Amino acid sequence: RSAEMAKLTQLIDNEVFRAYATYTVIVLLKMMLMSLITAYFRITRKAFVNPEDTAVFGKGESAKKNLRTDPDVERVRRGHLNDLENIVPFLGIGLLYALSGPELSTALLHFRIFAGARIVHTFAYLIPLPQPSRGLSWAVGYAVTILMAYKVLKTALYL
Amino acid sequence: RSAEMAKLTQLIDNEVFRAYATYTVIVLLKMMLMSLITAYFRITRKAFVNPEDTAVFGKGESAKKNLRTDPDVERVRRGHLNDLENIVPFLGIGLLYALSGPELSTALLHFRIFAGARIVHTFAYLIPLPQPSRGLSWAVGYAVTILMAYKVLKTALYL
Amino acid sequence: RSAEMAKLTQLIDNEVFRAYATYTVIVLLKMMLMSLITAYFRITRKAFVNPEDTAVFGKGESAKKNLRTDPDVERVRRGHLNDLENIVPFLGIGLLYALSGPELSTALLHFRIFAGARIVHTFAYLIPLPQPSRGLSWAVGYAVTILMAYKVLKTALYL
């Protein structure tokens, strides 16, 4: 039993894999934060999409007028969807990249730039910063993911 | 060859990892079910978004009036997107948590509560149940994911 | 250090795992391509959703009229979301399936059919091809994922 655990945890003892774990958790927590920001704007702007969500603000017409879209809510939701579209590829490609035996320093560089780019992207989207801030931060995260994908294919290609 | 397979399958022989595999498959299948429910409502409510999808109901005006949004379809789609937003973090954080060497009973507790919360969330969204049913079931799954993320960072942090 | 790396890379040396890595990278890159296609249509159709994105086309009214939805942009976005809904389950279930000790030829068959179905689905959505092209290609990828989920549960079930 404990020998088996030792073997299993060998993965989490590897430094490259620990770096992957750390930065993956960071970007996933950042993505999860978008849910809270959406909820915050829905409540403060009184802009809901489900009739049952407006009940706390009274019944009838006064509740119905809270069933509406709000520009700030929609902006956070777009940022959240953009996270999904970009962090899902990182989740899969980053894992395979971490298992493909990269140099620790190279792997750290990729993970740090990706996480940094996604954090800048969130600020650029929510504040919002003038373009091309958001476009560039998106492109940096995208490019890092492509580079990791190339390394995975070079190491593991089996069609 | 068979020695190599033995080593590879050591992961799937580990009880914590098997529990992760089981509950991950359960929540992903549950999420996939949302596609079928969306299709069911689109067909029964005749509410499509792509012109080519309405062709089976005849050409011209009779088809065009089926290009519309329907509250039930939109509700299922929101539930599906909420699944993506919450199950993607579980997929990544849960995997890393399973590899971080938790106690089997603790891990099972986290996985079961997460899966249960997401199933309750789906019923709360689709029926729909009065609030705060949906909000609470969402929060429980969210909190479990945060707890697992904390364990991963405590075990593996490598910035 | 190098013995540890050898153990870690045993996963990426396994042929089934290499096949999983290859096809996962392929479908994730295909999904990422949807972002570029969306950007291409937004720019050529001048159909933006964020006010700050229209600034490059001049200020005032001339910029405001570019804040609009375009059928081609929306079509690509629906294809992108459909990718997320179907490739996320493949990412998780496929990984667990690859670790559940399938025959190499069987695993390759599943991965190739899934990847092929998603590529056909993209063409069927974007051209668009008449139905049931898109519906069938979606169903094939869906069915393959279900089959892999069944194999994972049969091998690893631990409730």
Q: How far is A58 from chain C (nearest CA, A)?
A: 33
Domain assignment of residue C58, yes or no: no
User: Which CATH number belongs to the domain containing residue A2 in this structure?
Assistant: 1.20.120.550
Residue C52 DSSP code: G
Pseudo-torsion of CA A112, A115, A116, A118, nearest 10°? 160
- CA–CA separation, C73 and C67 (whole Å): 12
Mention every residue, 6+ apart, whose C-beta is less than 8 A from residue A7.
B10
Centre a 10 Å sphere on the Cβ of residue C62 and count the other Cβ atoms it contains: 10
Nearest CA in chain C to B82: C85
B4-37 residue pLDDT tens: 444 555 677 799 999 999 999 999 999 999 999 9
- CA–CA separation, B128 and A52 (whole Å): 8
Nearest to B91 by CA among A13, C93, C142: C93
Position A1 scores a pLDDT of 40
Position C63 scores a pLDDT of 77
Domain assignment of residue C37, yes or no: yes
Position A152 scores a pLDDT of 96
Return the residue in A7, A8, A114 with the most chain B beta carbons within 10 A, the one to mutate for interface testing. Answer: A8
User: Which DSSP string corresponds to B72-109?
Assistant: HHHHHHHHHHHHHHHHHHHHHHHHHHHTT---HHHHHH
Position C20 scores a pLDDT of 97
Q: pLDDT band for position B65 (50/70/90)?
A: confident
Burial class (CB in 10 A: 0-12, 13-18, 19+), B44: exposed
Q: How far is B15 from chain C (nearest CA, A)?
A: 7
Amino acid at A116: G
Position C148 scores a pLDDT of 98
CB contact, 8 Å: A35 with chain B?
A: yes
C80-89 residue pLDDT tens: 999 999 999 9
Mention every residue, 6+ apart, whose C-beta is less than 8 A from residue A78.
A125, C49, C50
Domain assignment of residue C28, yes or no: yes
Mean pLDDT of B120-145: 96
Domain assignment of residue A142, yes or no: yes
Domain assignment of residue B63, yes or no: no
SS3 B6: helix
Residue A84 pLDDT greater than 80, yes or no = yes
C89-132 residue pLDDT tens: 999 999 999 999 999 999 999 999 999 999 999 999 999 999 89
Domain residue limits at A101: 1-43+70-156
- CA–CA separation, A39 and A47 (whole Å): 10
- CA–CA separation, B154 and A47 (whole Å): 38
Amino acid at B146: I
Higher-scoring residue by pLDDT: C5, B158:
B158
Q: Name the percent of chain A lying above pLDDT 90.
A: 82
CB A147 within 8 A of CB C26: no
Q: Kindly list the residues from chain B whose CB atom is less than 8 angstroms away from the CB atom of residue C159.
A: 19, 22
Q: How far is B62 from chain A (nearest CA, A)?
A: 29
Q: Kindly list the residues from chain A whose CB atom is less than 8 angstroms away from the CB atom of residue C4.
A: 10, 13-14
Mention every residue, 6+ apart, whose C-beta is less than 8 A from residue B98.
B16, B17, B19, B20, B107
Provide the domain count of chain A: 1
Q: Kindly list the residues from chain B whose CB atom is less than 8 angstroms away from the CB atom of residue A34.
A: 85
Nearest to C117 by CA among C27, C13, C18: C27
Domain assignment of residue B64, yes or no: no
CB contact, 8 Å: B123 with chain A?
A: no
Centre a 10 Å sphere on the Cβ of residue B157 and count the other Cβ atoms it contains: 12
Q: Kindly list the residues from chain A whose CB atom is less than 8 angstroms away from the CB atom of residue C67.
A: none
Position A45 scores a pLDDT of 93
Residue B48 pLDDT greater than 50, yes or no = yes
Whether residue A93 and residue C28 make contact (CB cut-off 8 A), yes or no, is: yes
Domain assignment of residue A81, yes or no: yes
Direct distance between the N- and C-terminal alpha carbons of chain A, in angstroms, rounded to an integer = 37
Q: Kindly list the residues from chain C whose CB atom is less than 8 angstroms away from the CB atom of residue B33.
A: none
Q: Name the percent of chain C lying above pLDDT 70.
A: 92
- CA–CA separation, B151 and B99 (whole Å): 11
Q: What is the mean pLDDT of chain C?
A: 91
Q: How far is A8 from chain B (nearest CA, A)?
A: 6
Q: Kindly list the residues from chain A whose CB atom is less than 8 angstroms away from the CB atom of residue C31.
A: 85, 88-89
Of B7, B15, B81, the CB nearest to C10: B7
Rama region for C60: left / alpha / beta (φ>0; ψ in -120 to 50; rest): left
CB contact, 8 Å: B28 with chain C?
A: yes
CB contact, 8 Å: B53 with chain C?
A: yes
- Which tokens is B66 given? 């089926």
Name beta bridge partners: B67: B48
Residue A58 pLDDT greater than 80, yes or no = no
- CA–CA separation, B82 and A119 (whole Å): 21
Whether residue B96 and residue A24 make contact (CB cut-off 8 A), yes or no, is: yes
CB B127 within 8 A of CB A52: no
Mean pLDDT of A107-133: 97
| Phi, psi of A67, rounded to the nearest 5 degrees | -85, 85
Residue A3 pLDDT greater than 50, yes or no = no
Higher-scoring residue by pLDDT: C73, A54:
C73
Return the residue in B20, B26, B28, B81 with the most chain C beta carbons within 10 A, the one to mutate for interface testing. Answer: B28
Burial class (CB in 10 A: 0-12, 13-18, 19+), A104: middle
| Phi, psi of B107, rounded to the nearest 5 degrees | -60, -45
CA distances (Å), origin C127, targets C72, C75, C76, C133: 10, 10, 10, 11
Q: What is the mean pLDDT of chain A?
A: 91
CB contact, 8 Å: C1 with chain A?
A: no
Burial class (CB in 10 A: 0-12, 13-18, 19+), B17: buried
Position A75 scores a pLDDT of 97
CB contact, 8 Å: C43 with chain A?
A: no
Q: Is the bond preceding residue A130 a cis peptide, omega within 30 degrees? A: no
Name beta bridge partners: A48: A67
- CA–CA separation, A143 and A92 (whole Å): 15
Q: How far is A1 from chain B (nearest CA, A)?
A: 9
Residue C5 pLDDT greater than 80, yes or no = no
Mention every residue, 6+ apart, whose C-beta is less than 8 A from residue A30.
A83, A115, A118, A119, A122
The answer to whether the predicted template modeling score (pTM) of the entire model surpasses 0.90 is yes
Domain assignment of residue B54, yes or no: no
Position B108 scores a pLDDT of 98
Q: How far is C96 from chain B (nearest CA, A)?
A: 6
Position C1 scores a pLDDT of 40
**Please, which residues 68-107 of chain A have a Cβ atom closer than 8 Å to chain B?**
80-81, 84, 87-88, 91, 95
- Of A17-26, B26-35, C11-20, C75-84, the range with the lowest mean pLDDT is C11-20
CA distances (Å), origin C105, targets A88, A159, C65: 27, 11, 55
